[in-house]
Amino acid sequence: MAILADQNTRVIVQGITGREAVIFTKDMIDYGTKVVAGVTPGKQGRTVHGVGVYDTVRRALKDHPAEASVVSVPPALVKGAALEALDNGIGLLVIVSERVPRKDTIEILEVAGEKKARVIGPNTLGFISPHRFKLGMAGGPVKDVKKAYMPGPVGIASRSGGMTTEIANLLTTNGIGQSTCIGVGGDPVVGSNFLDLIPLFDKDPETRLVVLFCEPGGIIEEKLAEFVMARRSLIPLIAFVAGRFVDNMPGIRFGHAATIVEGDRGTTKSKIAMFKKAGIRVAESFSDIVVIARECLLGVEN
């Protein structure tokens, strides 16, 4: 089984008539995701790849019950779209929109917490369970997804959407399949981070190992290491920490909004040290992920 959703999860797309959403909606449908309705105010009555468009989430759900929504609207409209979905009982939001004001994200997460809903993103490509479904833009077109991803026992949680696919492709090329692969989002504040997702992977009987793609900035990796040390028994983890050069250039952002280091906490050096202290395997090079994964899987099987 996958975490967060499965092939029976019914999905709506908010902002479905937008240029990006039109493309990834087709990709999701082609991959087997159950996209049941779309929402764009003022566009009710249209269809996108056979999916009916509604003016409101409430109206869409009346005709097509759903559990999840992919939100792809301009950043200033994300809060309204997300709160509308949450107010109408959607339990899983995947917010692919970029440049969402941080205060809006915090408000969305507060409401989601009150309603016990799960949020992935903002600024995420979404997530995928190989040969089952995908939510958002994860993996791109189906022909690319089929090449890069294959079913198997390794989960992926990444701060970079693109690197989610790069890691999956590396594993697939070496005959190692994946269970659920998630891009958590590149913003400083996101709905579900490593600390939220690892316990879900830990409970998933199909996932026997998780690969983390980490970046400079933020302290969630250090907190995860502390969590692992406190638990003592947890699913095996492999961490690849990119951007080590950033430690020597404090105060400068590279790539994602969250990739900025201030002081000692959040540096790649600090993350690596904490990982090693917690017994989390650290891949020194990208190709080392495969070597360590094989060792860990063999250890789990034995």
Asked if 49 is an active-site residue, the reply is no
DSSP state of 287: T
Phi, psi at 37, each rounded to 5°: -165, 160
CA–CA dist 150, 196 (Å, integer): 24
DSSP state of 124: -
Beginning with the edge strand found earlier in the chain, give each strand of the sheet holding 68-71 in spatial order: 47-48, 51-54, 34-39, 10-14, 68-71, 92-95, 118-120
CA–CA distance, 91 with 268 (Å, rounded to integer): 34
Q: Rg of the chain over CA atoms, in angstroms? A: 19
196, two tokens: 């939220």
Question: What's the CA gap between 215 and 226, in Å, rounded?
Answer: 18
Among 49, 64, 131, 256, which one carries the catalytic annotation? 256
Q: Which residues are bridge partners to 11 per DSSP?
A: 35, 68
Nearest partner of 220 among 190, 250, 240, judged by Cα: 190
The position carrying tokens 């409970």 is: 203
Active-site amino acid positions: 256
